Amino acid sequence: MRVVILGSGRGSNAEAILQARDAGRLGRAEVVRIFSDQPGAGILALGPRFGVPAEFLDAAPFRTKLDGEGERRYIETIDACRPDLIVLAGFMRVLKPPFLAHFAGRVINLHPSLLPSFPGLDGIGQAFRRGVRITGCTVHHVTAEVDGGPIIDQAAVRIEPGDTLEAVAAKVHSAEHALLPAVIARLSEAR
């Protein structure tokens, strides 16, 4: 299963995927390319470390969505990689119907809450401020509804009395780093 990873930030979830690959825990999945919409993103440094081509891919003209010329550029460039699965690992742009239709059923996202609770930005902060006792992370198929696609799997994290927002974030990120590679491995074996 050929996997393309899209990310906008430091790349901790992409790193977890690549570490799982190196440890033999990614099933039949092969990460073939990493793209970032941010030229200085830390995720791009993972390419040389793990032997995977990684490059900045301009998403202009919009800052928060993939649309217009940027969307066409992403579709053409990713399509050339022949992906079986596109993993959004901290990719901070809304995907529009043309992209989703072109890669129908092949795009998954990792979200830092137990969806359908706390969709959108700052899922961890939303859960913390709301005072819930259980939060976590979700891997789901991507649809036009932001964080509304069918859920593939989830991992729960308990918020203990006295936990700070930073402590909860660390717990959720740890759960993400286990869940996402496990889901990719299962999807690769189901093909």
Active site residues: 111
Cα–Cα dist 121/25, whole Å: 30
* Beta-carbon count within 10 A of 73 CB: 15
| C-alpha pair distances (Å), 104 with each of 31, 100, 127, 142, 172 | 19, 5, 30, 9, 28
Q: Are 93 and 8 in contact (CB under 8 A)?
A: yes
Using DSSP's 3-state secondary structure scheme, residue 115 falls into coil
Element (H, E) at 175: helix 165-190
